[in-house]
């Protein structure tokens, strides 16, 4: 994607409901992964590959993102080593392999930052929602209300083999649209939707004032304000309540990455933020329209649901230098690197033009993927952000202390407290 590749929207993305894309500030997030999103970034002269498993490396990156007043960072995670193929493991030794646990990294960084949101990635397919609910609730306490959750699925058979509880068929790269593969994917996204619902109910299983902590009377909690969730669905049967009190935000924001109709439905029905990968403004408008329609059909049209565009970026003061760096890194691979998200190589000013064009198509924010975790992250915070500020499109200070506050999401009422009040 060059600096002039965006086109005009060809439909009205807000017609099906949801917030007006021009209503409120532009939101920006950064996706942190390894030494950067380009697989050869770890070989750059200024890269820090020896520090990828050090807490200080991640702390530095998040502090830089906070310096740029970004809404949040996401931390990538998986249940198997990284692979050049999304469907199977590989034997490559020329790319980063291995990573730290995303929740634990976020928890380590949380006390060392103040305002930026922290959103770890968690795999719903092979983990238990009870465990995840208390992990993210704990992160919300550690960060004083800045936690979020990005949920993803894992359909790969080699990942399932790590757990031994079920088996998945091989995923053919050339026939991914085969009916049996698409049915598996649909089932896993349905499972993820139930997963999110269980997590949300567990967060609500303690009322906000369930903890009395009255030493004089000897009452620490009010047992009447702890609730069984009694969830029974196709994939989970969970009694509850949680062992962790309701998080400071009530409900930490839930996010998901979506590339097609089935995951768009998950975003519309279960998430607060959807990450999508439009190739131009017209494509963005169609994606947003589909998500808004699904949101309306789910009865959520009155709720604020953010749709962020993902863009992988190479940024430099000179567009030619950014493109040359991309080509140089591609030259270290067997073939040019391709991404599920559009790739932009150019200047911060050119990226600002693109983002504002895409915003007019209905996107409410963007999650940028730095090709080089150090160079491109700094170009975002010290080049792109000032450019957007000059155009009046981005904040000049943090206006809220919680992630929900930064995203303009109200703190939701506790569903069980409301039910108990009616009883």
Write down the pLDDT at residue 420. Answer: 59
pLDDT in tens, the chain (423 residues): 645 333 333 333 333 344 444 456 899 999 999 999 999 999 999 999 999 999 999 999 999 999 999 999 999 999 999 999 888 899 999 999 999 999 999 999 999 999 999 999 999 999 999 999 999 999 999 999 999 999 999 999 999 999 998 988 887 766 777 788 889 999 999 999 999 999 999 999 999 999 999 999 999 999 999 999 999 999 999 999 999 999 999 999 999 999 999 999 999 999 999 999 999 999 999 999 999 999 999 999 999 999 999 999 999 999 999 999 999 999 999 889 999 999 999 999 999 999 999 999 999 999 999 999 999 999 999 999 999 999 999 999 999 999 999 999 999 999 999 665 655
> 28-58 pLDDT, tens per residue?
999 999 999 999 999 999 999 999 999 999 9
Write down the pLDDT at residue 177. Answer: 76
Write down the pLDDT at residue 86. Answer: 85
Distance of CA 419 to the CA centre of its chain: 31
Write down the pLDDT at residue 18. Answer: 47
238-241 contact pairs (CB < 8 A, 24+): 238/129, 238/130, 238/198, 238/201, 238/202, 240/201, 240/202, 240/205, 241/202, 241/205, 241/206
Per domain, the residue ranges of the chain are: 27-167+250-422
Write down the pLDDT at residue 1. Answer: 65
Q: How many residues does the chain have?
A: 423
The residue written with tokens 């929740």 in the block is 103
Cis previous bond, 71, omega within 30: no
Q: How far apart are CA 100 and CA 94, in angstroms?
A: 19
Binding-site sequence positions:
77, 121
Q: How far apart are CA 133 and CA 149, in angstroms?
A: 10
Q: What is the model's pTM? A: 0.92
Q: How far apart are CA 83 and CA 63, in angstroms?
A: 28
Asked whether 91 and 120 are in contact (CB, 8 A), the reply is no
Which secondary structure element, helix H or strand E, spans residue 195, and what is its range? helix 179-204
Write down the pLDDT at residue 324. Answer: 97
> 336-353 pLDDT, tens per residue?
999 999 999 999 999 999
Q: How far apart are CA 267 and CA 265, in angstroms?
A: 5
Write down the pLDDT at residue 25. Answer: 80
What DSSP letter does each residue of 22-90 carry, written as one string? TSS--EEEEEE-TT-SSTTGGGSTT--GGGTTSHHHHHHHHHHHHHTT-SEEEE---SS---SSSSS--
Binding-site sequence positions for FMN:
77, 121
Task: List % helix, strand, coil for the chain (3-state, nearest 5).
Answer: 35, 15, 50
Residue 364 token pair: 């409410």
Write down the pLDDT at residue 151. Answer: 98
Asked whether 348 and 379 are in contact (CB, 8 A), the reply is yes
Q: How far apart are CA 35 and CA 57, in angstroms?
A: 10
Q: Which of 3.40.50.300, 3.20.20.30, 3.40.720.10, 3.40.50.1100 would CATH assign to domain 27-167+250-422? A: 3.20.20.30
Write down the pLDDT at residue 16. Answer: 36
Write down the pLDDT at residue 283. Answer: 97
């Amino acid at each position: 994607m060059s600096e002039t590749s965006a086109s005009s929207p060809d439909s009205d993305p807000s017609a099906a409901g949801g917030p007006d894309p021009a209503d409120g500030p532009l939101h920006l997030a950064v996706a942190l992964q390894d030494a950067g999103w380009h697989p050869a970034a770890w070989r750059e002269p200024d890269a820090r590959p020896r520090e990828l498993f050090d807490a200080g490396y991640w702390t530095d990156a998040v502090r830089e993102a906070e310096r740029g007043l970004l809404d949040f960072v996401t931390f990538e995670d998986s249940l198997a080593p990284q692979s050049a193929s999304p469907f199977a493991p590989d034997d490559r030794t020329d790319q980063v392999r291995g990573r730290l646990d995303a929740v634990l990294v976020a928890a380590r960084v949380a006390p060392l930052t103040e305002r930026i949101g922290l959103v770890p990635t968690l795999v719903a397919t092979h983990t238990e929602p009870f465990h995840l609910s208390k992990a993210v609730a704990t992160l919300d306490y550690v960060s004083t209300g800045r936690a979020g959750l990005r949920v993803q699925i894992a359909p790969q058979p080699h990942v399932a083999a790590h757990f031994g509880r079920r088996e998945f068929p091989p995923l053919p790269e050339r026939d991914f649209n085969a009916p049996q593969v698409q049915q598996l994917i649909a089932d896993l996204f349905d499972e993820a939707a139930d997963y999110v619902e269980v997590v949300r109910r567990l967060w609500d299983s303690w009322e906000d004032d369930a903890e009395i902590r009255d030493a004089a009377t000897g009452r620490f909690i009010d047992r009447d304000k702890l609730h069984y969730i009694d969830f029974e669905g196709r994939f989970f049967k969970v009694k509850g309540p949680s062992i962790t009190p309701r998080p400071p935000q009530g409900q930490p924001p839930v996010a998901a990455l979506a590339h097609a109709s089935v995951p768009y439905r998950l975003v519309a029905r279960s998430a607060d933020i959807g990450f999508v990968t439009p190739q131009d403004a017209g494509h963005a408008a169609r994606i947003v329209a589909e998500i808004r329609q699904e949101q309306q059909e789910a009865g959520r049209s009155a709720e604020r649901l953010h749709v962020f565009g993902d863009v992988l970026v190479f940024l430099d003061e000179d567009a030619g230098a950014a493109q040359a760096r991309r080509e140089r890194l591609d030259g270290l691979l067997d073939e040019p690197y391709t991404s599920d998200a559009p790739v932009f190589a150019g200047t911060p000013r050119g990226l600002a033009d693109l983002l504002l064009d895409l915003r007019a198509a209905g996107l409410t924010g963007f999650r940028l993927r730095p090709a080089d975790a150090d160079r491109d992250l700094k170009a975002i915070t010290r080049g792109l952000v000032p450019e957007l500020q000059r155009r009046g499109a981005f904040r000049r200070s943090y206006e809220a202390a919680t992630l929900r506050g930064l995203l303009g999401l109200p703190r939701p009422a506790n569903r069980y407290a409301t039910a108990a009040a009616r009883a």
